[in-house]
Amino acid sequence: MTDDVLNTDFTTYDKTVDYSTYDVTRLVRPGSDALAVSLGNGFYAGGADDYPASGESWQPGEPTLKLELDVWYADGTSAQVVSDGSWKVTTGPTTANSPAAETYDARLAKPGWTQPGYDDSGWGGAAALPAASTVPSYSGTPTADWLWNTAGAASTTTAGTIYLRKTFTVTDPSTISSAILRVNGDDGEMTYVNGTLVASSPGNVINGWQTSQVADIKSLLVAGTNVIAIAGLNISANSSGIIAAAQVGTTRIVTDGTWKALPGTPATPPCGWNTASFDDSAWPAATVLGGYGISPWGTGIQNPAGPSKVYDFGITTSGWTRITMQGTAGTEVQIEYSEQLNPDGTVQSEGNGSAGQTAERNRATARGRERSDLAARAGAGARSGADKPPLAFRTGIGPGECSASVDRSTWNVCSRAAACGVQVVSIAAAVAVRARTAAR
């Protein structure tokens, strides 16, 4: 179609992403046609020798595709083909690549894969990613406010946990195409929708308030009254605040003066405080500290980095982790184990810090939609040769055990005991994607 290479041009990807356009009229034939695309890392996901592959707000990134084919017929009608979940995906002979170099294994080549008659029945389905614009902005209309339950909390307030609630009505959840919730807490937060924990950030991470927690809450919505309930964590007498925004279909919900706040910092909240049926009529309105952008936070909140989540079980131990997953073929999940966390809450890459100690990272790729198991030893230095990725895991630690279930859409975890620490590092896209369409 073109002799162009290294498309698209390098840009500051969190601000601008270029696209390429081509006239493919001469390539469209009567009957079946095929669109075939091979994705490389480029500067976006791979960096280069003189450009880092991490450290930018969009990194770590994985190759993704956004494509639209518009066809206009001589009779005045038109058709459109877009990249979506109907595309097929697999890996290819290019096993590693960057703008500077690549690794190519000709034994993995798939002759004819770009042609309409190619049999791709063994390929997996592509994962349709939510557009970045689906993550609610705090600076939209209306602007989200920082909240607490006392005035002056933007400067200092009493240490302890406060509790906030916002009820809203959904007429028919089946008509809502998407529902995304975003929340930031200083020092930290635990956020619930209709009693289910959907997001959390610990209060002991330095500048942890800068990292947004994002959750897909569509499956939790019910007809009638719903509630977003947030426990705000303040581990020391310092600046504290909660800010949140949700886009529920066409309805925008933000933290503002209509939220309710329980006075004080009780040791335990009232029973059922995070459920929609709880009576909060006695709770006063939350205190608005100011709109997004106020001091001391300013506009320092970072855009969500992607599907990575740390599970900290609070103790260094040994054991075997059994991980199960059911998902699309070609989906890759990486699990990294370590004995310590970095100050920013990420898993330490050097195990316990001693010379020669390195955290091991397991990479597992789904074979198909059947449930797959992955067994791997927990703790620093763990290694697994299994080739299937996780969705839920269970860890045995001798006389005791911890177990957890992971919601793959939000990477939330519910654990029964503190036993181990793992990090879901990334979900990798596949290298080659293709789809079928027909031209009249």
Helix H or strand E encompassing 44: helix 42-45
pLDDT of residue 279: 95
Residues 197-242: tens digit of each pLDDT? 888 888 887 777 888 888 888 889 999 999 999 999 998 888 999 9
For the chain, give the mean pLDDT.
73
Question: Which segment, 14-28, 305-319, 341-355, 405-419, is predicted with the most confidence on average?
Answer: 14-28
pLDDT band at 66 (very low <50, low <70, confident <90, very high): confident
Instruction: Supply angle C-alpha 113, 63, 411, rounded to 5.
Output: 120
Full-model pTM = 0.47
Whether pLDDT at 370 is above 50: no
Token pair for 28: 């469209």
Separation between Cα atoms, residue 215 and residue 189, nearest integer Å: 13
Whether pLDDT at 336 is above 70: no
Domain map (residue ranges) of the chain: 25-127, 136-291, 309-428
Within this chain, domains 25-127 and 136-291 share the same CATH topology:
yes
With a pLDDT cut of 70, the percent of the chain lying above it is 63
Mean pLDDT computed over 388-411: 31
Separation between Cα atoms, residue 146 and residue 244, nearest integer Å: 8
Inter-CA distances, 11 with 87, 167, 189, 302, 317, Å: 27, 41, 34, 18, 44
Provide DSSP, 289-358: EEETT-TTTTT-PBPP--S-EEEE-SS---EEEEEEEE--TT-EEEEEE-S-B-TTSSBPTTTTSSTT--
Separation between Cα atoms, residue 25 and residue 6, nearest integer Å: 23
* Choice between 378 and 104, residue whose per-residue pLDDT is larger: 104
Which CATH superfamily hosts domain 136-291? Galactose-binding domain-like (2.60.120.260)
pLDDT of residue 260: 97
Which residues lie closer than 8 Å to 53 by C-beta, 6 or more apart?
A: 45, 46, 47, 59, 60, 98
Question: Could you tell me which CATH class the domain 25-127 is placed in?
Answer: mainly beta
Whether pLDDT at 271 is above 90: yes
Q: Label residue 293 exposed, middle or buried (CB < 10 Å: 0-12, 13-18, 19+).
A: middle
pLDDT of residue 257: 96
Mean pLDDT computed over 364-384: 42
pLDDT band at 423 (very low <50, low <70, confident <90, very high): very low
pLDDT of residue 285: 96
pLDDT band at 11 (very low <50, low <70, confident <90, very high): confident
Separation between Cα atoms, residue 89 and residue 91, nearest integer Å: 7
pLDDT of residue 375: 43
Separation between Cα atoms, residue 234 and residue 420, nearest integer Å: 25
Q: Residue 136 is which amino acid?
A: P
pLDDT of residue 213: 85
pLDDT of residue 421: 36
pLDDT of residue 227: 97
Whether pLDDT at 326 is above 50: yes
pLDDT band at 55 (very low <50, low <70, confident <90, very high): low
pLDDT of residue 392: 31
* Choice between 174 and 46, residue whose per-residue pLDDT is larger: 174
* Choice between 306 and 124, residue whose per-residue pLDDT is larger: 124
Average the pLDDT over each of 138-142, 202-206, 261-265 and give the range with the smallest value: 202-206
Separation between Cα atoms, residue 183 and residue 138, nearest integer Å: 9
* Contact assessment for residue 10 and residue 43, using Cβ atoms and an 8 Å cutoff: yes
Structure-derived torsion over alpha carbons of residues 113, 128, 64, 79, reported in degrees to the nearest 10: 60
Whether pLDDT at 21 is above 70: yes
Whether pLDDT at 419 is above 60: no
pLDDT of residue 304: 57
Separation between Cα atoms, residue 316 and residue 144, nearest integer Å: 39
* Choice between 186 and 352, residue whose per-residue pLDDT is larger: 186
Helix H or strand E encompassing 45: helix 42-45
- Measured from the Cβ of residue 323, the count of other Cβ atoms closer than 10 Å reads 26
Whether pLDDT at 338 is above 60: yes
Question: Which segment, 35-39, 50-54, 227-231, 423-427, is predicted with the most confidence on average?
Answer: 227-231
Whether pLDDT at 15 is above 60: yes
